[in-house]
Structure formats: structure tokens, C-alpha cells
Amino acid sequence: MADQLIRATAADGGIRAVGVITTRLTEEARQRHNLSYVATAALGRTMAAGLLMASSMKRAGSRVNVRVKGDGPLGGILVDAGLDGTVRGYVGNPSIELPPNAKGKLDVGGAVGKGYLYVVRDIGYGYPYSSTVEIVSGEIGDDVAHYLVNSEQTPSAVVLGVFVGSTGVTAAGGLLIQVLPKASRDEALVATLESRVASLAGFTPSLQAGKSLPEILGELLGDMGLRIFPETQILRFNCGCSFDRVLGALKILGEAELQDMIVKDDGAEATCDFCGNVYQASSSHLAQLIVDLQAESSVTR
Ligand code: ZN
């Protein structure tokens, strides 16, 4: 099954539901960054959460940045997800492994630790909207729900799941259920959502069993007037980095530093944090940047 996102409503449009399957893109991130089991789960959950959060944005080109900055051994998570279904991300220490937690599951909370969750919503113009909440459990799903409820005042439930076996990611995905603003004063509906949170735990076993998103949503919300939108959006791991951007970043270092790189290293090597791609700039590339800088400064003089 391809990675995908589907949208649905329930309770006469008072509830919005979004589901994502992110198995392949999580496996791609695992391979790109050489992630351990627990790091795969942590990054995979955060990427699914980012895609779920981006799905509510309206303007084409909108993106969400999710930064989890905890004091645990994982050393932080950064994810960039777009309304267009693209996502990328990385963790501070990709190789750390921890013993399973008390429930026998990957100890994402222990790897993340205590600290803060930062979210930036960028609609492509003006100042991005940013907000911060304290990390609740470090398990990501709880933390994102806490953020949506407290910072965006939207009653929300989030479940995320990543299953990693010896051959890689076998299943990954997530589910976001929200009471829409127009219905958020409807206390009965908010109470219904809260009462459903326990049953949403059925999401991850269904995900692991390979059920489709419509099947899973039907199991969880089928008795609440579920309406699934016919469009399925394709999701993928994608990074906007390029050799030209790397050259642009090198140029900012200035003439003296570029000259130094030519003399000492005969070029420069840059690795993209988000996707792990390695870019090699030769001495002649760097020399050209110096020529460009000199031309620009003579124009502005
Ligand atoms: Zn990249």
C-alpha cells in the first residue's frame, strides 16, 4: 500500500478525522539516517504527526515545522511537513538504542526526555505562527494532542504508530481526530471525542495488521456518521536541498573562508541534515563563488 492521507468527517461535520499511512517514507528515513529502532519510532511518529498537522492548512505551499527538544539521549527531533504531502526530518542521535519500556514497547518517551515541543506553521507569506508547549510524555502523540488543545484551542486526539522489525519498518501511520471550531462549544461532542480516545488505541493494532485507512476509520467512527472524502493524497519523503542551495550556503561564509577551504581542503563537503545527501564542491566551484562575491561587491560599491 502506498503512503497516503485520507480525510473524513463525522457527527454531522462537527468532527474532522485525518488518517495517514507512512510506512514507506518512515523506512526511507530509517535508511537515509541509519536510525536505530527507537530513533525510527520517534522520527516516524513525528513525521506522521507533522503530516497530520499540515493537512488542516488551507493555502498551497503551507508547511509545519515540528521540533521536539527533550533532554533525553535522542538529542532532539526536527520534522518539516507540507500540505502537499511531502515530509523530511532527522534526529540528533540516530544510533541510540534503549531497552523496551514497562509496556514492552520501544521507549520513545525515554529517548525524548523532558523539555519542549515547538511548532511553526508557515503559510508562505508574513510571519509564521509559532507556539511552544512542554513535553507531556515524550511519546509524541500525547504531546502533539496537548499542543493542539492548549496552543491552538482545538479539542484533538492523536494516535501514532511505528512498527520496526529486523528488516525495517513494517507499518507506520497516524490518526488525528478533532472537534471543529464551529462545534467546539458543543460540550456533548467534545465529551464524545474524549470518550473515544480509549477506543482509538485500536488504531495501531489495525495498522500493524495491514488494514486500510477507510477500514480503520470505519471501525473507529463508523457509528458516528462517518463520511470519507473520495480523494486520497499520496505522501512521500522529500527534501528540497540541492547542489545550488549548498553553493548558496557556502557563499554566505565569505571570501576569506572560501579561500581557506580551497587551500586547506581542496573543496568542501556538505551533508544535508534533513535527508543525509552529501554534496561535494570542488575548488573550482569555490573559486567561482569568490568571483561572484567580488563581482557583487564591486556593483554595490
Ligand atoms: Zn536534503
CA of 36 to the centre of ligand 1 (A): 20
Q: Over range 59-86, report the average pLDDT.
A: 97
203 shares its domain with 295 = no
162 shares its domain with 41 = yes
pLDDT in tens, 77-133: 999 999 999 999 999 999 999 999 999 899 999 999 999 999 999 998 888 899 999
Question: Taking the model in full, what pTM does it have?
Answer: 0.92
CA of 277 to the centre of ligand 1 (A): 6
264 shares its domain with 232 = no
284 shares its domain with 152 = no
216: CATH? 3.55.30.10
35 shares its domain with 52 = yes
Of 237, 259, 286, the position where a domain reaches its end is 237
CA of 231 to the centre of ligand 1 (A): 29
User: Hey, which residues does 8 pair with through a beta bridge?
Assistant: 17, 228
231 shares its domain with 248 = no
Domains of the chain: total: 2
Name the residue range of residue 137's domain. 4-237
**What is the pLDDT, as a whole number, of residue 119?**
97
**What is the pLDDT, as a whole number, of residue 127?**
87
> Distances in Å between the alpha carbon of 297 and those of 69, 154, 244, 254, 290?
40, 51, 20, 11, 11
**What is the pLDDT, as a whole number, of residue 189?**
80
Q: In 10 A of CB 156, how many CB atoms?
A: 22
Of 221, 237, 253, the position where a domain reaches its end is 237
CA of 31 to the centre of ligand 1 (A): 14
> Distances in Å between the alpha carbon of 119 and those of 47, 172, 236?
13, 22, 21
133 shares its domain with 279 = no
218 shares its domain with 279 = no
pLDDT in tens, 206-262: 999 999 999 999 988 888 899 999 999 999 999 999 999 999 999 999 999 999 999
Of 222, 237, 252, the position where a domain reaches its end is 237
Cell of 90: 532527522
71 shares its domain with 129 = yes
51 shares its domain with 145 = yes
186 shares its domain with 120 = yes
CA of 28 to the centre of ligand 1 (A): 13
291: CATH? 3.90.1280.10
214 shares its domain with 280 = no
CA of 63 to the centre of ligand 1 (A): 16
CB 17 within 8 A of CB 52: no
